[in-house]
A and B are shown apart, each in its own frame.
Chain A
Amino acid sequence: MDIEDIKKLANMARIDMEENEMAEIAKSFGSILSYVGQVQEVSDVAGNELSHDLVENHRLHNVMREDFATNKTGEYTERIMKEAPAIENGFIKVKQIL
């Protein structure tokens, strides 16, 4: 992995970074990726032996609720708006997108 790859990732992740930090990250990615690459050696064998009865993923299911308001109108508005860096006429201010 080289610094150009890191630049692309930083761009996708929307993070401003100094060149020297990108170089350092590129270097550390080498050792991290070679460590986590271990999963590639075992995933096929491990995956083939999977039995769905034993893996407890069946506990996972969609959680639904009725579509109704759980709080009074405006109950949280003031608190939440107070956290925004810039507001105007009761709206959070954003930059022009187009």
Chain B
Amino acid sequence: MIDLRTLTIKKAHEHLKNGDFTVTDLVNAYLSVIKEKNEEINAYLEIYSDVFDQVKIAEEMFKNGTATIMTGIPVAIKDNMLFLSHIASASSHILENYTATYDSFVVKQLKNEGMVILGRTNMDEFAMGSSTETSAYGNTKNPLDLSRVPGGSSGGSVAALAMDGALVSLGSDTGGSIRQPAAFCGLVGIKPTYGAVSRFGIISMGSSLDQVGTFGKNVEDAELLYNTINGYDEHDSTSVKIEDRSKPEPLKRKIGVPRSFLSGEGIDKEIIKNFEENCKKLEKAGYEIIDISLPLIKYSLAVYYIISPAEVSSNLARYDGIRYGLHSEADKLYDVYAKSRGKGFGKEVRRRILLGTYILSYGYYDAYYNKAIKVRNAIKQELTKAFMSVDAIITPTSPFMPFKFGEKLEDPVGMYLSDLFSVPANIADIPAISIPSGKNNEGLPFGLHIMAPLFREDILFTIGKDFEKQV
């Protein structure tokens, strides 16, 4: 028996290399957990039928000496990542039967390393949500407490890991969709710098905010998978060339805490208490914790809920019922569009498209969109200045603990507040990570959120590993 609970990429690789078990054994171990648990948890929407063809390729690489540390590692991908000849639905009815016509950049990278892609995971429809409850294919349960949500929108990718249904997984993060579910399921999740990982072949939500990132049970696993998908890609015009990225520099060993941002309404007291303990642990690890003033950062969420619906309404205009996806028959062209989109999109997606349509309409464009862009730039500037005196900025990951099903579904603003602490990183394009920081007396996990300057993911990994040792 392979002990999946304590397995890491490095350990798995050693075992595969030494022949203690084969890729087939490893994949079978995960598949049997999935068979046992997935019906209840609904982390995966589909286990791919060609898993053992991929296993064969990985085993061949071990035989002929081309295997890397990632070869044969079982990975789950979010349902918004194209994998040639496989369905990618963004957990929406409108793409229920859509088969990818090419590989996304990230999938190509996984294939190059001979990783085994087990299946696609459930998500909030088109990544719009913070609980995976807006999926057209049912709720995903939090493996740590089946009465609670796993977070979202990458809820299936974290649940797959938390139930030991994969060793690592990929998610995407537009406002917190990797970090908040990582915190809700006690895992590590990283959102890289905007432009670090190609968005080619990722089903778009908010194109100026979307970024693919990784999940692992520890910082090292998330980092190793990040290294696999990180890179320049000419197919994404916002991908940044390696030579244009900032280079690692020695740390100042100073971490900033934006105190006034933590004293707003709606933040759980136990989360603040855990956060204070986390600060002490970082001090013990040799970091100086400094209070910093970031007066504009609290506007990030308002900026986000203008920019992201605006981008959503234009991005999702492509689903017309004519070229691909769900088609509703009607006599007139207008009715084909309206019926296909009315039937194909779920409630939250419809709401956000309408919100974006409103924000971008004549007369409101200046009042909302242009003002949000101005504040976005001012927030970027505020953070850039702050990073002159500190290596990183920390907050809790989520303002509240994993909640129960239905608790926030009817209260859009309440649900949107999930992203309070995670959204500034998307607004400012900077990298951020969520790291488990203990559990409350109900056994629900806390998360520490760390932000770093552009392309300084190395800082997140260094501080993250130092922090892990203290927990």
Contacting A15 at CB < 8 Å: which of B102, B345, B379?
B345
Contacting A49 at CB < 8 Å: which of B313, B327, B378?
B378
Interface flags for A32-64 (1: CB within 8 Å of B; 0: not) read: 100111111011001101110011110110010
User: In the complex, are the beta carbons of A39 and B372 less than 8 A apart?
Assistant: yes
User: In the complex, are the beta carbons of B347 and A21 less than 8 A apart?
Assistant: yes
Task: Given A6-B354, A86-B327, A94-B322, decide whether A59 and B102 contact each other with a Cβ distance below 8 A.
Answer: no
Interface flags for A52-83 (1: CB within 8 Å of B; 0: not) read: 00111101100101000000000010011011
Which residues, 64 to 78 on B, are CB-close (under 8 Å) to A?
none
Output the residue of B195, B341, B347, B371 with the most chain A CB within 10 A: B371
The smallest beta-carbon distance between B330 and chain A, in angstroms, is 8
User: In the complex, are the beta carbons of A55 and B323 less than 8 A apart?
Assistant: no
User: In the complex, are the beta carbons of B302 and A97 less than 8 A apart?
Assistant: no
The smallest beta-carbon distance between B230 and chain A, in angstroms, is 17
Task: Given A32-B355, A36-B305, A92-B323, decide whether A14 and B338 contact each other with a Cβ distance below 8 A.
Answer: yes
CA distance A83 to B321 in the complex (A): 10
A-B contact count (CB 8 A): 152
The reply to whether the CB of B237 lies closer than 8 angstroms to some CB of chain A is yes
B350 closest partner in A (C-beta):
A15
User: In the complex, are the beta carbons of A13 and B354 less than 8 A apart?
Assistant: yes
Task: Given A21-B350, A36-B302, A94-B333, decide whether A56 and B378 contact each other with a Cβ distance below 8 A.
Answer: no
The reply to whether the CB of A16 lies closer than 8 angstroms to some CB of chain B is yes
- With a cutoff of 8 Å between Cβ atoms, the chain B residues found around residue A5 in the complex are 358
23 contacts between A and B (CB under 8 A): A10-B354, A13-B341, A14-B320, A15-B345, A16-B339, A16-B341, A17-B342, A21-B350, A31-B412, A32-B413, A40-B371, A42-B296, A42-B378, A43-B375, A50-B381, A51-B381, A79-B102, A83-B101, A83-B323, A83-B325, A84-B323, A95-B336, A97-B333
- With a cutoff of 8 Å between Cβ atoms, the chain B residues found around residue A46 in the complex are 296, 299, 374-375, 378-379
The reply to whether the CB of B79 lies closer than 8 angstroms to some CB of chain A is no
